[in-house]
Amino acid sequence: MPNQRLIILLLLVAYIFSPTLFGWVINENGSWYRPFIIWVFVIVIAYFIQSSSKAKRNDL
């Protein structure tokens, strides 16, 4: 249940800041790797959510 709250909170924050992030990513004067920075954050957050839920399970 705590993971669901974390995911909902992250989605809410992403929804609120998405216009700003989108403008930052498509800025013509920006670096080519800006979209990849966002994807790295998404992958890292997903990894931590997955590893914390896997650690709580007892698979025997």
pLDDT in tens, the chain (60 residues): 566 887 888 889 888 988 888 888 888 888 888 889 888 988 998 898 788 766 666 555
Separation CA 51–CA 37 (nearest Å)? 21
Residue 8 class from Cβ within 10 Å (0-12 exposed, 13-18 middle, 19+ buried)?
Answer: exposed
pTM, two decimals, is 0.57
Give domain status of residue 28, yes or no.
yes
pLDDT at 57: 63
What is the Rg, in whole angstroms, of the alpha carbon atoms belonging to the chain?
A: 15
First vs last C-alpha separation in the chain: 22
How many domains are there within the chain? 1
Give domain status of residue 50, yes or no.
yes
pLDDT at 16: 92
> Which residues form the domain of 36?
2-55
Q: Give percent helix, percent strand, percent coil of the chain, each to the nearest 5.
A: 80, 0, 20
Give domain status of residue 60, yes or no.
no
Give domain status of residue 49, yes or no.
yes
pLDDT at 40: 93
